[in-house]
Every structure is written in structure tokens, then in C-alpha cells.
């Protein structure tokens, strides 16, 4: 028998593929390491910029209840309280509405109506925050005033589409026979949703809530347009407030050196709030799992 010669190009092609795979893994490794250093680098940058303020005489005012740079008072307490109030309020209002929307889409609507609503949620989730701010400025503020309540309503309107889409994705990852098995056991559809579906999807829904809260903590423009921008402790829902992000947007452009360094600490407080939120959420999830 005549021997069939091996194709001479095969080893070269195999070597080329191995080189491509090695390059791809090296790129992934470099990008992963780079992303891991972004957060510490950001923290060090902000802390380095604000370190001189921590050594200044005005550092004692950081714990005061007044933010007034013209009077050399840089109290972060009212800004932190305002940020947490509007973010938590928006999340508490948006969470049941977002999950309820996802339940209606996944378990009750069918056909083109469901597709239309899902497309609408996708569009709402991509709308810039300034559009929600304009809605609040011309519709909410004339009725309830520039206040904490207006900020909560606007932020909730921004978070509902995100929460609904994330919850919908969580429901679609559940076992396909979960609802049918519950119905065979004699449970109603509502009992299946409450006792089986929501419990099974709880980790994913918890992650969606944490993601929405992080977005609420970092929102600036829409909140700036409807909250009144008065740095103070909110004593009622109709009281005006100012958040950390709003302070950065409004004051960074004209800040003097000491004021500028204090604003870097404001930015650091925003990052720390987001980090503490994620850490607390992970801790709570581990405790529930245990």
C-alpha cells in the first residue's frame, strides 16, 4: 500500500492556534489583574487628595451637622444621611413594584403583550437620568415640592425597570417544572409564586436589590433636580436635602484648594458607602446560607 503523506500545514496551524489561545489567556489575565487594582488605586487617589484636609484645622468639622464651605464648615453627616435616605427610600418603593412587574410578565402575560411590555422595560432602563429628573421637575416638584419625597419617587421610577428585568431573568433561571409541580400538589398559582418561586429566586433578587441600591447611592443629576439641594438632616419627607453626589456636581467647579480637598473626601465617602453596601450584602447572604 502506498503511504498517504500527512498534510504539511497541520503542525503550523496547530502552533498558530496554540499561540492564539496563549495570547487570549494572557490578555484575560492582564485585564483581570488590572480590574482588581482599579478599586484600590481609586481609594488611594482620593485618600491622597484628601489627606491634606485631614491634617488641617477644619478636619474637626467633618462630623458636624453643617456643610457650609463659605464658613469653613465641612460636615459630612447631613450629606451622608441625605444620600442614604433617598437611596433606601427609592429602593423600598421600587422593590415591590419591580418584582411585581416581573411576576406579572412571567406568570400572567402571554404572547405579544408580554413582548411589548418587556421591550418597554428595556427602553425605560436605558433612558438617561436627566429625563427622569425633568419628569420630576415639571410634574412632582410643583405638587409636593423639591424634597426628599420627590427624590425618592424619581429614584424609584429609575430603579423599577432595572429591578423588573433582573427579577425576570431570575425567574427564567428557575426549573421549568416548579410551577407545574406546585399546582399538582394542590397549591394555587399565587401560593406557588409566594412559597416556591420567590423563595427559590431569593438570592438573585437580593443581588438585584443590592445592585439597585448601589445605583441609587451614586445617582446625582436626577436627584439634584428634585431634592432642593439644602444640606441638612431630613426631619420629614417634604424637607429638602442634598446628597454627596449632588454636592460634587454643584461645587467642584468653583472650589478653592481647601474646599477642593474636602470634596475629594466626599467622593471617597461615596465609594466607601458603595463598598460597605456590597460587603454587608455579601455578609448577610453568607449568614443566611449558613
- Which stretch of 151-165, 239-253, 270-284 has the lowest confidence by average pLDDT? 270-284
pLDDT at 95: 94
Return the pLDDT at 289. 61
Does the structure show a pLDDT above 60 at 3?
Answer: no
Is the distance from CB of 221 to CB of 130 less than 8 angstroms? Answer: yes
Reported as a pLDDT band with limits 50, 70 and 90, residue 10 is: very low
Q: What is the pLDDT of residue 65?
A: 86
Q: For the chain, which domains are there?
A: 75-289 (1.10.3720.10)
Query: What pLDDT shows up at residue 78?
Result: 92
> How far apart (Å, rounded) are the C-alpha atoms in residues 251 and 256?
10
* Whole-number pLDDT of residue 32: 76
Mean pLDDT, the chain, rounded, equals: 84
pLDDT at 15 over 80: no
Give the model confidence (pLDDT) of 121-142 as tens digits: 888 888 888 999 999 999 999 9
Choose among 148, 277, 161: nearest CA to 213. 277
DSSP state of 136: I
Residues 6 or more apart in contact with residue 250 via CB below 8 angstroms: 224, 229
pLDDT one-digit tens code per residue, 208-224: 898 899 888 888 889 98
What's the predicted TM-score (pTM) here? 0.82
Contact status, residue 239 vs residue 148, Cβ threshold 8 Å = yes
Mean pLDDT of 234-255: 88
Amino acid at each position: 500500500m502506498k503511504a498517504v503523506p500527512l498534510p504539511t500545514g497541520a503542525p503550523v496551524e496547530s502552533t498558530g492556534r496554540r499561540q492564539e489561545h496563549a495570547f487570549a489567556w494572557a490578555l484575560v489575565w492582564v485585564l483581570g489583574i488590572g480590574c482588581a487594582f482599579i478599586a484600590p488605586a481609586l481609594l488611594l487617589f482620593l485618600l491622597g487628595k484628601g489627606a491634606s484636609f485631614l491634617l488641617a484645622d477644619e478636619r474637626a468639622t467633618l462630623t458636624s451637622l453643617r456643610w457650609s464651605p463659605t464658613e469653613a464648615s465641612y460636615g459630612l453627616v447631613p450629606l451622608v444621611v441625605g444620600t442614604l435616605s433617598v437611596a433606601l427610600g427609592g429602593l423600598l418603593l421600587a422593590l415591590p413594584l419591580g418584582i411585581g412587574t416581573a411576576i406579572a410578565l412571567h406568570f400572567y402575560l402571554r404572547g405579544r403583550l408580554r413582548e411589548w411590555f418587556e421591550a418597554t422595560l428595556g427602553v425605560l432602563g436605558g433612558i438617561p437620568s436627566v429625563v427622569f429628573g425633568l419628569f420630576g421637575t415639571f410634574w412632582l416638584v410643583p405638587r409636593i415640592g423639591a424634597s426628599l419625597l420627590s427624590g425618592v419617587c424619581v429614584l424609584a421610577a429609575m430603579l423599577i425597570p432595572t429591578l423588573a428585568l433582573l427579577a425576570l431573568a431570575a425567574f427564567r433561571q428557575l426549573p421549568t417544572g416548579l410551577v407545574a409541580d406546585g399546582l399538582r400538589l394542590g397549591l394555587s398559582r399565587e401560593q406557588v409564586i409566594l412559597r416556591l418561586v420567590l423563595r427559590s429566586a431569593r438570592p438573585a433578587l437580593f443581588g438585584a436589590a443590592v445592585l439597585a441600591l448601589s445605583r441609587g447611592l451614586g445617582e446625582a443629576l436626577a436627584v439634584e433636580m428634585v431634592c432642593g439641594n439644602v444640606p441638612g438632616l431630613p426631619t420629614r419627607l417634604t424637607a429638602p436635602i442634598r446628597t454627596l453626589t449632588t454636592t460634587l456636581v454643584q461645587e467642584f467647579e468653583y472650589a478653592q484648594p481647601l474646599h477642593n480637598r474636602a470634596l475629594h473626601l466626599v467622593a471617597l465617602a461615596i465609594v466607601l458607602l458603595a463598598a460597605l453596601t456590597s460587603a454587608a450584602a455579601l455578609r448577610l447572604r453568607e449568614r443566611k446560607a449558613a
